[in-house]
Amino acid sequence: MTEPAIGIHDLSLATTHYRLDLATLAHHLGTDPAKFHTGLGQDAMSVPAADEDIVTMAAAAARPIIDRHGADRIRTILFATETGVDQSKAAGLYVHGLLGLPSACRIVELKQACYSATAALQFATALVARDPTQQVLVLASDIAKYERGTAAEATQGAAAVAMLVTADPRLLRLEVPSGVFSADISDFWRPNYRSEAVVDGRASITAYQKATVEAWNDYRRHGGRDLSEFAAFCYHQPFTNMAYKAHRHLLESTGAAAGAADLDTALAAAAVYNRALGNSYSASAYLALASLLDHRDDLDQRPVAIISYGSGSVAEILSGVIVPGYRNHVRTAANTNAIDLREPIGYARYEELHDPELPDDGSHHELPAETSGPYRLAALTGHKRIYQPTGRPAGT
């Protein structure tokens, strides 16, 4: 009996109410905007409203999937994040309640810097392989935040993706094998007592490139495809030019060479959303996949690679084949609207949102209603987070 193909059946994204254009940041810093637009490959960053967080974004990303497919077969929710809201309770439980999902469901949160969504995807495929009648909802939601005035400030961002993993998927059939690599290094980390991450930018770029090559070598040792077979590459993008740096380094490690046009063919379509949203940590590589599917119509039956990296560090390379007719199931209009409808803000407002004064003593604190999304963080009280629907529709 032939085993069914397993992969991504549906893919939806969500982001924040606000955006900070990097030209605005450059003006505040007294620097040339080209440093960000050309040097980093970034145009803007998403900035959460006062009543937005990883839960509200994840629920907003998941709602259209539930509306389209229902929830009867979803028995697992895997929530990948490195900006969790609780050291004990999985953020997915809040989403489960907001979406009104069945109680017969297991819910787990996963963490390993920007890599954990790929771990969630692999765990999901194993669960579906065990019982192809079940479906798994994978959520990846993060807010990339650094200290203001640091070199990393321009690489902040926020977004979420929701992926429905099933047998006989409509978007992407995942392949075996994958390639993995891990090493204990300190290129990026956030201790429990800090709200902003600490990053050694130079070390992180070097670590990312090394991990990509090592994961690729492992992929090939286990019988993976040749580099030349792939129609496109979806890299984790702390900034979009990092994908270009990593891919050029990978090509050089295999003795291949590529000009600017070749790099754009492999990478440009997968960089559109990340360029506008900024870094979204665990969601980043799958925002790249959404961007690729929305911006290319020539991928039927063609293999693509997903290159996932999480500092500290873990990397994995996945390969998958795009399902014929995928363009009938993508969410291009909703994804574009979510990005285009963000409200631009000035530096002063961004500064207020970046450094909120929130109670840590359990006292009651209500959040101002700002988000245009379907869910909001309404209050903090008694050390509890209170979420509410806003009555506004999610993307479709």
Poorest-pLDDT segment among 258-262, 278-282, 390-394:
258-262
Poorest-pLDDT segment among 42-51, 106-115, 200-209:
200-209
Decide: 132 and 93 in contact? Cβ < 8 Å. Answer: no
Catalytic residue chosen out of the listed positions 9, 236, 247, 354: 236
At residue 201, the pLDDT reads 85
Query: Per the annotation, where are the binding residues for (3S)-3-hydroxy-3-methylglutaryl-CoA?
Result: 32, 146, 245, 279
105 is catalytic: no
Helices (H), the chain: 22-29, 34-37, 54-69, 91-99, 116-130, 201-221, 240-253, 260-267, 272-277, 284-295, 332-340, 347-354
Average pLDDT along the chain = 96
CA distance 373 to 395: 9
* Between 194 and 82, residue with greater pLDDT: 82
Q: Tens digit of pLDDT for each residue in 298-348? A: 999 999 999 999 999 999 999 999 999 999 999 999 999 999 999 999 999
Give the residue-averaged pLDDT of 99-113.
Answer: 97
Give the residue-averaged pLDDT of 89-103.
Answer: 97
Q: Read off the pLDDT band of 258 (50, 70, 90).
A: confident
Query: Which residues, 6+ apart, have CB-to-CB distance to 324 below 8 Å?
Result: 300, 301
3-state secondary structure at position 377: strand
pLDDT of 396 strictly over 70: no
Using a pLDDT cut of 70, give the percent of the chain over it: 99
114 is catalytic: yes
Query: Per the annotation, where are the binding residues?
Result: 32, 146, 245, 279
What's the start-to-end Cα distance of the chain, in Å? Answer: 37
Using a pLDDT cut of 90, give the percent of the chain over it: 92
At residue 325, the pLDDT reads 98
Catalytic residue chosen out of the listed positions 114, 153, 214, 316: 114
- Tell me the backbone φ, ψ of residue 237, rounded to 5 degrees: -125, 90
Domains and CATH numbers, the chain: 6-173+330-389 (3.40.47.10), 175-323 (3.40.47.10)
199-205, Cβ contacts within 8 angstroms, sequence gap of 24 or more: 199/146, 199/152, 199/311, 201/151, 201/152, 204/238, 204/311, 205/242, 205/245
Give the residue-averaged pLDDT of 369-373.
Answer: 97
pLDDT of 251 strictly over 80: yes
Give the residue-averaged pLDDT of 212-234.
Answer: 98
Catalytic residue chosen out of the listed positions 82, 109, 153, 214: 82
Amino acid at 9: H
Q: Read off the pLDDT band of 197 (50, 70, 90).
A: confident
Tell me if the pTM is above 0.95: yes
At residue 257, the pLDDT reads 80
Give the residue-averaged pLDDT of 365-391.
Answer: 97
